Structure 1
């Protein structure tokens, strides 16, 4: 790697590989900058002086597991091209580890803003904020309307038993790193395991759908849904519940750790999000308390895992040390939701 190469990216090797998939890039000098890194897949902006692309690869030193499988990201975005779901165009997938040391893919550089904080949204004014939040819901409805089989994703995941597996998965994740008393976690786990509802029809689940995983264009419309690391087949209500869980969490955090965009003036309220989702043709959110409880449990497990890794010097980045403080309010959000639904 050269001195100007960002971590995890060898520009010389990339320049040697690129013309095979984009002949117009032959002979051009590449530049790159790291857009996002840390616990997620690494994202780079690549340029050759005339064009720009985005490259995604797993974290450096990480053996790709399901959560970092860029092949799945590339596959789901490629499948959704031409549907009502805005996604970046994908250009190539490289599974030859000799190029960058891990699989990676190249996609379109989409111009847009991933709004994260209420303060930056507030500058747009309440009317525009409301429109952005409406489009956010409409795009989720469009995703859940896609028939996986019709876009070649019938085998993208095992939809049967999705909710049961989600309860077990996040219980296992929480127990693997828990080193402190969290009685609310034990109570919520029991409630979830004993109240799993019948699933809605299988659909594509983004897995981390929120405003800062959607690029918003200059007109306030979604230009692209990004960060498909956790996408699978399952009960799409998991996405709607996660969106609401983040919305409730926005009242707890100031936006420095987790997005507080939903607290911006003009943003749809929780009830308005649910009403719009139903009115636009989304799934019937029956037993939504369970789904919201599971979403909060999932976020609590992630937050406490980050806290645990930070405590042991294995997690860096802004906010990593404060993530653990979110676990308890998330567990309370989950308990309240499940109890109200019973």
Structure 2
């Protein structure tokens, strides 16, 4: 932990705000550190020496519209607290940018490990790796089984025309960050639009579901997911978009890349097994999963291009950003290849 202010987090102002909104919560000087691994919203681990919390805020500088909504994250985590979906408890939401320079929220710290690379999984062995990864589609089934109205999320999104709007949204996000030629990106967008599938019954979707965005408790070898994190893209919509993203990450092999991949770990199930496990438990038709996986490649290409753009402006925090731009064409090509499978 560092006593210095990490980029984007003024500890004195944070302490003053917490004392004002939650008197007595903080019992000593605050220390904080940036939690590495994220490429979008900034995450900090904060402690007063006795208790621990996590603070989330948008990235510094250039921000794509709607992509870093703190109120949205806070709302969905709070709503899911009493369901079978493991989420941290929330402490407070601050939408006043005068406090830290941007809206932010504070949540409880949850013990667990985020597994971001195949190398991190290797010490667990193939059997435990397999068990951990297979728990991902199980967790998705639990999330997609939540009745939005019952948890106060009936108005959390507009499911009608969801996929069409998603394509439009990510196309607009691309235009907001486009500062170079990207061969194939427009072809991929057009092909996705022409082959749009009919969505199943809507559900609460995470929007960025993968092993990197969950915490796993492994100390007693129970290997259970203790928290699903990073809800900034959550909404009501087509649940198969979550499965398509999980499928993409489960077949992605980019060793040494700044983009998190775990698929190369011994024992890691293939995407087809995760898809089948989800289909069996949820009862949903997954015959068009290649479209959803291709869409995931498109979405990630746009996200990475946005990060690359922020890097060119000098508005990123952390290592590895200099290599993000070279990965965008890989995601475009993989998306086109996947979509051609039908």
Answer yes or no: same fold by TM over 0.5. yes
Give, in angstroms, the shift of residue 293 of structure 1.
1.4
Other structure's SS at 2:130 match: helix
Kindly provide the CA deviation profile for residues 1-49 of structure 1, in whole angstroms up to 9, marking residues without a partner as x. x982222222223222323444433653222222248752222222222
- Is 1:227 the counterpart of 2:227? The answer is no
Contact 1:89–1:107 under 8 Å retained in 2: yes
What's the counterpart of residue 51 of structure 1? 51
Contact 2:72/2:232 (8 A) holds in 1: yes
> In the alignment, what sits opposite 1:198?
198
Change (3 A) 1:39 1:211: closer
Distance 1:221 1:102 in 2: 34
Question: After the TM superposition, which of the residue ranges 14-23 and 195-204 deviates more from structure 2?
Answer: 14-23
Given that residues 57 and 105 in structure 1 are in contact (C-alpha distance below 8 angstroms), is that contact kept between their aligned partners in structure 2? yes
Question: What displacement does 1:328 show?
Answer: 2.4
Instruction: Check 1:287–1:314 CA distance in 2 against 1; reply closer, same or farther (3 A cut).
Output: same
| Matched-pair contact (CA < 8 Å) for 1:38–1:59 | no
Matched, 1:246 2:249: yes
**Contact 2:52–2:108 (8 Å) recurs in 1:** yes
Distance in 2 of aligned mates of 1:313 and 1:50: 36
Give the number of aligned pairs. 338
User: Relative to 1, partners in 2 of residues 1:66 and 1:178: Cα closer, same or farther, differing over 3 Å?
Assistant: closer
Provide the C-alpha distance between the structure 2 equivalents of 1:21 and 1:160, rounded to a whole number of angstroms.
Answer: 38
Tell me: CA distance 1:20–1:311, structure 2 relative to 1, closer, same or farther (3 Å): closer
Instruction: Give RMSD over aligned pairs.
Output: 2.3
Mapped partners of 1:37, 1:123: distance in 2: 20
Instruction: Name the counterpart of 1:155.
Output: 155
Name the counterpart of 1:129: 129
- The answer (yes or no) to whether the contact 2:207–2:234 under 8 Å persists in 1 is yes
Report SS of the residue matched to 2:184: helix
Structure-1 separation of matches of 2:142 and 2:275: 15
For structure 1, which segment, 220-229 or 35-44, has the greater mean C-alpha deviation from structure 2 after superposition? 35-44
TM-score, normalisation: structure 1: 0.90
* Structure 2 counterpart of 1:111: 111
| CA distance in structure 1 between the partners assigned to 2:179 and 2:28 by the alignment | 52
After superposing the two structures, state which structure 1 stretch, 265-274 or 19-28, moved more.
19-28
Taking the aligned partners of 1:27 and 1:321, their CA distance within structure 2 comes to 40
Rounded to whole Å, the distance in 1 between the matches of 2:160 and 2:91 is 32
Counterpart residue number, 1:6 = 6
Alignment match, 1:69: 69
In structure 1, the residue matched to 2:17 is 17
Question: Does the residue aligned with 1:14 lie in a helix, a strand or coil?
Answer: helix
Query: Residues of 2 paired with 1:176 and 1:26: CA distance?
Result: 40
Separation in 2, partners of 1:64, 1:41: 11
Please show how residues 258-297 of structure 1 align to structure 2 within 5 Å.
258-281=259-282, 283-297=284-298
Q: Which has the higher helix share?
A: 1
Q: Contact 1:116–1:255 (CA<8 Å) still a contact in 2? A: no
Farther-moved stretch of structure 1 (317-326 vs 185-194): 317-326
Structure 1, gaps ≥5 residues long: none
TM (norm. structure 2) is: 0.90
